[in-house]
Amino acid sequence: MTTKEQKNTVLIVSIITSFLTAFLGSSVNVALPSIQKEFNIDAVTLVWISSAYLLATATILVPFGRFSDIIGRKKTFFWGLIVFLTFSFLCAFSPNIQILIALRVFQGIGASMIFSTSTAILTSVFPQGERGRAMGLSVSAVYLGLTLGPVLGGVLTSNLGWRSIFWLNLPIGIFIIYLVNKKLGGLEWADSQGEKFDLLGTILYISGLLLLMLGFTRIQTPLGKTLAIVSIIILFAFIYTESKIDYPIIPMSLFFKNITFSLSNLAALINYSATFAIGFLLSLYLQYIKGLTAQNTGFILAIQPVVQAIFSSYAGKLSDRIEPRFVASFGMFLTALGIFMLSLINSTTPNYFIYSAQILLGLGFAFFSSPNTNAIMSSVDKKFYGVASASVGTMRLVGQTLSIGIVTMLFAIHLGGTKFTPDLFPKFMSLTHSIWLGFSIVCAFGIFASIARGNIR
């Protein structure tokens, strides 16, 4: 039986970890122009600083989720934290762009171990009726990290250089390690203990997903098309294999027979596919087109996550009383509207218009994220909490990878391998308008997946 103190400790650990991982991701976005200047790299290579991390995290999240159900979620979480902190710190000493991208891959592996277990542990200790509030607080921490990331990232980049961003993780991470060891030392959650780990399914899943995302980012080339076709064949083989064995890494019944689970995951995939590149593109717009410093850009980018942090806890509690599909669908609608507003901006757009779009996006994310996660985790048996938690993270990260992959592909087609120079700015703005308009349409379609998922109570 989990005591109240232990439940509070789990919540604190989840909140701090959610903050830490979100902070790092959003602060790196602000630092990208500085990294580009130091390493003298082109626009496409610049995108890979984010893509490498996302690829590594997304491809192994589900295997680690299943692995944690067998050996223990706390154990997986703890070692994931060690890996994440170690390679985050090493990123600060990267001598070139190749080393930085490689370290971001290992950082992503650690992040996958954290993401695949943190929500599962939270769900294990908080029953329905309390779960939405707990998840709302955890999601609020994510948005607080997204809030402070651009602000502190901009301040640190402007005054101490981009490398200082990676130093900040260490003291916070050490405190989390202390809490886990001191307060949760005798606890473990392993509801599938003794079951076999599906190695063949893991190999098929990782290779199929990795080739799919790599192929998608290069879909305009013959190699990209080939990788995409091969990946689809491998993923079909994975689905067939998983449906025939006793202990799959992903029970296919969760997707084929549980409509709430499958459509909630689809809604998450659509949401993150349509939204993740917003911060990346807006950061470039504010610094290159509007001529703002990294510090001032950070303050503007903070508006959206501030709103998210304020309203996420309320949205989570609301989903304990009202069916999550209604709350999440409303959030998806607001998000689509906010992205559409961004598609209208140009070099002379007043700041208040950008602020308004940011506020709308913040409300949209707040009302979608925690109710959607609540729906996913409440729709499965506790022995699948690790897999369900990993599916939440996988949909987020695959969506984020697809989002950044779309931008990478379009940058490669329309901007080529050139550096950002003033003569490229008009073409960049035209491309950005099209991307944002397309993302708003995708998000609008996501409303239907969200509303159709059915009730959890």
Q: What confidence score (pLDDT) does residue 145 get?
A: 77
pLDDT for the residue numbered 411 = 79
Among 282, 269, 260, CA closest to 362? 282
Instruction: Give the integer Cα–Cα distance in Å for 10 and 124.
Output: 10
> Of 276, 305, 279, 275, which is closest to residue 443 (Cα–Cα)?
275
- pLDDT on residue 197: 86
Chain segment 427-451, per-residue pLDDT in tens = 888 888 899 999 999 998 888 888 8
Token digits of residue 391: 């599916």
Portion of the chain with pLDDT greater than 90, in percent: 13
| Contacts of residue 105, Cβ cutoff 8 Å, sequence gap at least 6 | 52, 53, 55, 56
Interval 132-148 mean pLDDT: 76
**pLDDT confidence tier of residue 367, bands split at 50, 70 and 90:** very high
Kindly state the average pLDDT of the residues 280-285.
Answer: 86
Tens of pLDDT, residue by residue over 42-99, are 766 777 887 788 788 878 888 888 888 888 888 888 899 899 989 988 998 999 999 9
| 187 SS3 class | coil
Residue 131 vs residue 427, higher pLDDT: 427
User: Could you give the maximum distance between any two Cα atoms of the chain, in Å?
Assistant: 64
Residue 361: predicted pLDDT: 92
Q: For the segment 165-177, what is each residue's pLDDT rounded down to a tens digit? A: 888 778 888 888 8
- What pLDDT, on the 0 to 100 scale, is given for residue 453? 77
Please provide the average confidence, as pLDDT, over all residues in the chain.
Answer: 83
Confidence of residue 146 (pLDDT cuts 50, 70, 90): low
Q: Is a pLDDT exceeding 80 seen at residue 369?
A: yes
pLDDT value at residue 416: 66
- In the chain, what percentage of residues exceed pLDDT 70? 95
Confirm if 405 and 216 have CB atoms less than 8 A apart: yes
Task: Give burial (CB, 10 Å; 0-12/13-18/19+) of 182.
Answer: exposed
Hey, which of 9-18, 22-31, 287-296, 359-368 has the most confident mean pLDDT? 359-368
What's the rounded Cα separation, in Å, for the pair 438 and 418? Answer: 24
Place of tokens 């990676």: 166
Q: Quote the CA–CA distance of 58 and 266 in Å, as a whole number.
A: 15
Whole-number Å distance between alpha carbons of 261 and 64: 19
Structure tokens, 290? 């509007």
pTM of this structure: 0.72
